[in-house]
């Protein structure tokens, strides 16, 4: 890495350390404080019927923008990422491949139970996308937003979920909608030839959510929606501090229940966060004599303190369980061994028929980030870079 880039990274890391000393106003927020809603986009996403003929478009994916100044000030690093997104969206608005919306894999604030963290630090940053740029925004909850509890009745989870749903009440389908699991932050939407499911991976072992998601995919017209994309917080495989030798309960549930189901229905892409870095996994498998793949992109560079590579996960049990489908896993892109090797970033996902291309855009000191030896890759063509 260039000396100047390392110096900038060091200064950024020092700023995190300084920010960590700031007090948070959690104890000052009245218990009945309401979380402000993110402003809805000026240009909502067209209905599924209106976009039926669209086969070429792009969208942005990112995650993990929580900040050590949450509740005290606007999220600075997240703001840098949003500014870069705004420039990218504007530059491509008149092209044949415009960016239509943004999806987030969660961890918006450090403690989702604290309304001040949403109101002071988060909402106005995302309003720059929806209210200023005017683009739709579709979130999934992270463990910092609604806690990592798998118990739906857990008081802390209920408190965090109430704040989360308050923040996004004008962005996601309402309860009672065919595209929303009532009482959950889990929903879906279709655009063009692609279908998106935003799930709560904190409760990946919840049977109600599982059955709803399974029903959503099983009921799709796959001629209309050949591309199925899942947005979730927890990755099924990762090599950061949440992965490697660590197997969290959400990870285990995803490997045990969801991935076999995703193989059955030929889900195309998983977009996850949780690890504050970038990595790319591909699962290859057989079904009916044909070979398929599920790509999993871990993109947690939205502004939270950056992570580094910790080691490979032990996947022997998973591979044995998938032997009937001839499952094979490849870790195509690994994160670097130091935090400054894994800069702030976001993804531009380009859809062109059944082809998908990934573009990784680094931010701040990571402007030259090129995880594929370039900054983009066609999913159907990439091998180990």
* Residue ranges of domains in the chain, CATH in brackets: 33-378 (3.60.21.10)
Strand pairing class (355-362; 227-231): unpaired
Mean predicted confidence (pLDDT) in 308-333: 98
CB 339 within 8 A of CB 333: no
Strand pairing class (355-362; 376-378): antiparallel
Phi, psi of 280 (to 5 degrees): -135, 125
Summarize pLDDT for 13-42 with one digit per residue, the tens: 434 433 333 444 444 567 679 999 999 999
Mean predicted confidence (pLDDT) in 291-317: 98
Residue linked to tokens 């060091």: 10
Ramachandran quadrant class, 301 (left: phi over 0; alpha: psi -120 to 50; beta: rest)? alpha
Residue 25 has a pLDDT of 45
Mean predicted confidence (pLDDT) in 356-382: 94
Residue 383 has a pLDDT of 60
User: Could you give the percent of the chain with pLDDT greater than 70?
Assistant: 91
CB 350 within 8 A of CB 301: no
Residue linked to tokens 């947005």: 231
pLDDT band at 4 (very low <50, low <70, confident <90, very high): very low
The Cα–Cα gap between 126 and 232 comes to 19
The average confidence (pLDDT) of the chain is: 92
Tokens describing residue 327: 């499952």
Summarize pLDDT for 185-228 with one digit per residue, the tens: 999 999 999 999 999 999 999 999 999 999 999 999 999 999 99
DSSP reduced 3-state for 253:
helix
Cα dist. 264→8, 136, 152, 326 in Å?
A: 46, 30, 28, 13
CA nearest 337: which of 361, 307, 297, 367? 307
Tokens describing residue 91: 């530059």
Burial label, 182 (beta-carbon count in 10 A; 0-12, 13-18, 19+): exposed
């Amino acid at each position: 890495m260039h000396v100047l880039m390392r110096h900038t990274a060091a200064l950024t890391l020092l700023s995190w350390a300084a920010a960590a000393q700031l007090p948070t106003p959690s104890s000052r927020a009245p218990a009945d404080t309401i979380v402000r809603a993110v402003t809805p986009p000026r240009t909502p996403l067209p209905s599924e019927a209106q976009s039926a003929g669209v086969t070429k478009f792009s969208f942005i994916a990112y995650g993990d923008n929580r900040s050590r100044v949450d509740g005290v000030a606007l999220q600075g690093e997240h703001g840098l990422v949003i500014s870069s997104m705004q420039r990218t969206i504007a530059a491509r608005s008149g092209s044949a491949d415009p960016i239509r919306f943004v999806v987030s894999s969660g961890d918006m604030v450090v403690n989702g139970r604290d309304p001040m963290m949403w109101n002071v630090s988060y909402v106005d940053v995302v309003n720059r996308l929806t209210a200023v740029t005017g683009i739709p925004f579709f979130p999934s909850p992270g463990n910092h937003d609604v806690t990592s509890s798998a118990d739906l009745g857990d008081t802390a989870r209920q408190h965090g979920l109430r704040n989360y749903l308050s923040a996004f009440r004008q962005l996601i389908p309402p309860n009672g909608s065919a595209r929303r699991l009532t009482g959950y932050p889990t929903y879906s939407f279709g655009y063009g030839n692609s279908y998106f499911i935003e799930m709560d991976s904190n409760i990946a072992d919840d049977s109600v959510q599982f059955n709803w998601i399974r029903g959503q995919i099983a009921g799709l017209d796959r001629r209309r929606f050949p591309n199925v994309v899942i947005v979730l917080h927890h990755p099924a495989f990762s090599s950061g501090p949440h992965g490697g030798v660590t197997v969290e309960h959400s990870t285990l549930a995803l490997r045990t229940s969801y991935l076999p189901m995703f193989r059955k229905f030929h889900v195309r892409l998983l977009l996850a966060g949780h690890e504050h870095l970038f990595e790319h996994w591909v699962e290859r498998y057989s079904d009916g004599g044909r070979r398929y793949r599920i790509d999993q992109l871990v993109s947690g560079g939205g502004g939270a303190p950056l992570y580094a590579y910790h080691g490979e996960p032990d996947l022997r049990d998973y591979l044995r369980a998938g032997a009937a489908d001839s499952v094979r896993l490849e870790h195509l892109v690994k994160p670097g061994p130091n935090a400054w090797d894994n800069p702030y970033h976001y993804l531009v996902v380009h859809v062109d028929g059944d082809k998908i291309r990934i573009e990784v855009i680094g931010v701040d000191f990571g402007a030259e980030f090129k995880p594929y030896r370039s900054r983009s890759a066609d999913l159907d063509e990439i091998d180990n870079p």
